[in-house]
Amino acid sequence: MSKIHAAITGVGGYVPDDILSNADLEKMVDTTDEWITTRTGIKERRILKTPGKATSDMGVEVVRQILSKTNTTPDEIDMLICATVTPDTAFPDTANTILDKVGAKSAFGYDINAACSGFLFALTTGAKFIESGMYKKVIIIGADKMSSIVDYTDRTTCIIFGDGAGGVMLEPSSDGNGVIDSVLRSDGSGREFLHMKAGGSLKPATAETVAKREHFVYQDGKPVFKAAVNGMVNTVNQVLERNNMTVDDITWLVPHQANMRIINSVGDMLDIPKEKTMVNIHKYGNTTAGTLPLCLWEYEPLLKKGDNLMLTAFGGGFTWGSTLVKWHN
C-alpha cells in the first residue's frame, strides 16, 4: 500500500484593499522611500482599516475561497488550524471564530503561535492528521493583522509589517505528492531580540505599559537577520539531505517574506537563482504567518504537478524551519 501524504488541493489568499505606501510612511515617521526600499525591498503594504474587522475576517475570506476552489461545503471541514500572533482575542482562539463565521459545524480547530514560522508549524501539524488517517479535509490558515501591534512612531518596525492571510486545504493523496518532510526548530534564548514586551501573564496590561508603548512589536534587527539566514539555510540543507536531493531538485524556493536582504542572502547561500524564488514582499510587506500561503496563492498559476517546493521561514521565539512539498494541485 502506497504511503498517504497530505496534498495541497486548494489555495486561498486575501489582502485588504487599503494600501500603506512608502510615500505615506514618509509623512508619518522620519524615513524615505529610498531608505525603505534599499533595506527591505518593500514598496507598500496592506492595512485592514475597516472598523470591527480582525484577523478572523481575513481568515474567513481565505476559507471561502478554498471551499469554492475545492467544491467543499463547510460541513465537510474536519479541522482548521490558524497560525497567528494577532488573534481576535487572547481567547477564544481565532480558528474557532473562523469556523463559526463560515458555518463549519462539524469541525474543530485551534491556533498555533510560532510568529513568522507559524504557517510552517501548522502545515506540518495538520499534515500528520491526514497521514494518520484521522481526517480527510484539514484547512491551514496563516493570518495576521500586524497593524494592530505595530507602533507607527517606530520607523524601524512600522515600515516592515502589513496585514494579510492565506491558506491551503490538505487532503489525503497516494500519488507521492503532498507534504513530504519538515525540519522545524526553536530556540527560546532568542526571545529577547523579537517580542512584545507587555500584554501577557509576565507583564499584564496596565496604564503604565500602555503609556510606555509596550504592546507593540519590538525587534533588534542585527541578531535576527543573522539567525534568520543561518536557520533557514541550514534547515533547507537538512531537508534536502534527508530526502537524497540537491538544490537543483528544487523547483521553487518559498521563503518567508521578512526582508529582501534576507531572501537574497538565503538564495545566494543555497545557490538558488532569483527566478526560482517566490517574492511578493514589495507589495505586501511582512504579513508574519501570512507570507508563505500568500506566495503560494500568487504563484499558483505557475505551479505544475510534481514541482518540488521548499518552504522556509524564521520568526520570533526564535522559531524556524523548512518543509518540502511536492505540488499536487
All structural domains of the chain: 5-176 (3.40.47.10), 180-326 (3.40.47.10)
- The whole-chain average pLDDT of the chain stands at 97
* pLDDT at res. 1: 54
Residue 324, pLDDT > 70, answer yes
* pLDDT at res. 19: 98
Q: Contact 114/319 with Cβ under 8 angstroms?
A: yes
**Has 237 been annotated as catalytic?**
no
Q: What is the pTM of this model?
A: 0.98
Residue 44 is inside which H or E element, if any? strand 44-47
Find the catalytic residue in 22, 259, 286, 329: 286
Find the catalytic residue in 177, 256, 308, 329: 256
**Has 82 been annotated as catalytic?**
no
* C-alpha distances out from residue 273 to 39, 207, 247, Å: 20, 50, 10
CA 257/CA 68 separation, integer angstroms: 27
Q: List strand residue ranges (DSSP E) for 163-290, in order.
A: 163-173, 178-186, 194-196, 217-219, 252-255
Q: How many CB atoms lie within 10 A of CB 320?
A: 28
pLDDT, tens digit, for every residue of 247-262?
A: 999 999 999 999 999 9
19, with CB counted inside 10 A (0-12, 13-18, 19+), is middle
> Half-sphere exposure of 88 toward its Cβ, with a 13 Å CA cutoff?
21
Residue 65, pLDDT > 80, answer yes
Q: Contact 90/148 with Cβ under 8 angstroms?
A: no
**Has 256 been annotated as catalytic?**
yes
pLDDT, tens digit, for every residue of 29-64?
A: 999 999 999 999 999 999 999 999 999 999 999 999
Q: Contact 259/160 with Cβ under 8 angstroms?
A: yes
pLDDT, tens digit, for every residue of 155-200?
A: 999 999 999 999 999 999 999 999 999 999 999 999 999 999 999 9
Find the catalytic residue in 82, 113, 116, 329: 116
